[in-house]
Amino acid sequence: MTEDQRDLLKKQLYVLGVGPAKPIPLEYGLEVRNVYSKQDFVTGWFALKYKDDPRYDIKFVPCRSKFSERTAYFADHAFLGGTYQGVQLKYIERLRQKWGFYDGSTR
């Protein structure tokens, strides 16, 4: 990818990191957010190092996953768990309201 192509992509890209092992820097897109559950004891520890770094947007959210959705019944790290799916749905809905993204459902 050329430098011009990267710059163009950065002006259009929205990134939501859901419990990433290494947070995604703000410079990677137009809007970049890294979200961790307060109970994510798998990758949440890695985010603490970057929490106050101005190059990253890191949010810790309350746990909403059922015990059965958690890793080893205590770590809220499951991508398909209630916490991260809820965060993802809210983020996409906010983008849809702001930009009018296509919604293929038959609501």
Q: Is residue 15 part of a domain?
A: yes
Q: Is residue 69 part of a domain?
A: yes
61-104 pLDDT, tens digit each: 999 999 888 888 789 999 999 999 999 999 999 998 888 876 67
Residue 64 domain boundaries: 3-99
Q: Is residue 104 part of a domain?
A: no
Q: Which of 47, 45, 33, 35 is nearest to 81 (CA)?
A: 35
Q: Is residue 89 part of a domain?
A: yes
Q: What is the pTM of this model?
A: 0.85
Q: Is residue 106 part of a domain?
A: no
The total number of structural domains in the chain stands at: 1
CA distances from 107 to 34, 87, 91, 103 (A): 30, 21, 19, 9
Q: Is residue 62 part of a domain?
A: yes
Cα distance between residue 18 and residue 64, in whole Å: 14
- Biggest alpha carbon distance in the chain? 47
Instruction: Look at residue 1 and tell me whether its pLDDT is greater than 60.
Output: yes
Here the tokens at position 71 are 């890793």
Q: Is residue 107 part of a domain?
A: no
Q: Is residue 73 part of a domain?
A: yes
